[in-house]
A and B are shown apart, each in its own frame.
Chain A
Amino acid sequence: MKIVAVCGMGIGTSVLLKMNAEKVLAKLGIDADVEAADMGVARGAAQTAEIVLTSEELAEELGDVPAQVIVIKNFFDLEEITEKLTAAVE
């Protein structure tokens, strides 16, 4: 499964989100490739990814993509990430 973590710049928030998503995926036993990307790269990457992880503001900016877009409020709340990822892969 391909997952893209998106932020405006691709060096900060998306990297943190990727790290925490990988932790959660490992715990759930889901085999997935998580990529951190900025908005420009993400518009392309989101065409082939199954899931996009991002914040509310950026989900609006990203617009319509074929991937399932998951909005994360607290990037350090592993429970929130677990809950939303579990719901998305089911």
Chain B
Amino acid sequence: MALNLAEALASIETQAEAADWRTAIRLAGAGLVAGGATTDAYTDEMIAAVEKHGPYMVIAPGIALAHSRPSPAVLTGGLSWVSLATPVEFGNAANDPVTLVIGLAAKDHAAHLAVMQALAGVLSNSVAMKRLAVAGTADEVRAVLGELAAAA
């Protein structure tokens, strides 16, 4: 059985409303803070990363992996999950608009590889992603992720 991504999620928010990409990243950041993974400063660092490097974090159609680098604002590290009720433009020509924002915080470059493996497994599963996109509650998201982990 592969690592269950649900266990690595500091928080799950479904069908959230965000007017723009900054608000969408703030939701993902707030999830990391609520789960004890980071402080508020990390949220600002994630937004600054997009301002500096552009919207490259939109890594696949509809999916943004919001993150910054290891810093004092990372307490334990972890992931947050925010699905959006209304898709948001990040300015990425190939993969806009975004319907899922994953917030990622890591203490160092090596610690989170098992989590990243699990994340890659989920995000590359297009059937599961369709179910996850329409999931209306955190429990539904957890249920799908649990099934995936059990099947892997």
- Give A residues with C-beta under 8 Å from B: 7-13, 15-16, 19-20, 36, 38-39, 54-58, 61, 73-78
Chief secondary structure at chain A's binding surface: mixed
A13 touches B65 (CB 8 A): yes
> Which B-chain residue is minimally distant from A75 (CB atoms)?
B59
Residues of A within 8 A of B61 (CB): 74
> Which B-chain residue is minimally distant from A12 (CB atoms)?
B67
Would you list 26 pairs from A and B whose C-beta atoms are within 8 A, ordered by A residue? Answer: A8-B49, A8-B53, A9-B49, A10-B69, A11-B69, A11-B104, A11-B106, A11-B109, A12-B57, A13-B56, A13-B57, A16-B59, A19-B117, A19-B120, A55-B56, A56-B56, A57-B53, A58-B54, A58-B56, A61-B53, A61-B54, A73-B94, A74-B60, A76-B60, A76-B120, A78-B124
B13 to chain A, nearest CB (A): 19
Residues of A within 8 A of B92 (CB): 57
The total of chain B residues at the interface (CB under 8 A) is: 30
Residues of A within 8 A of B95 (CB): 73-74
Whether A76 contacts B53 in the complex (CB less than 8 A), given A9-B69, A10-B109, A11-B112, comes out as: no
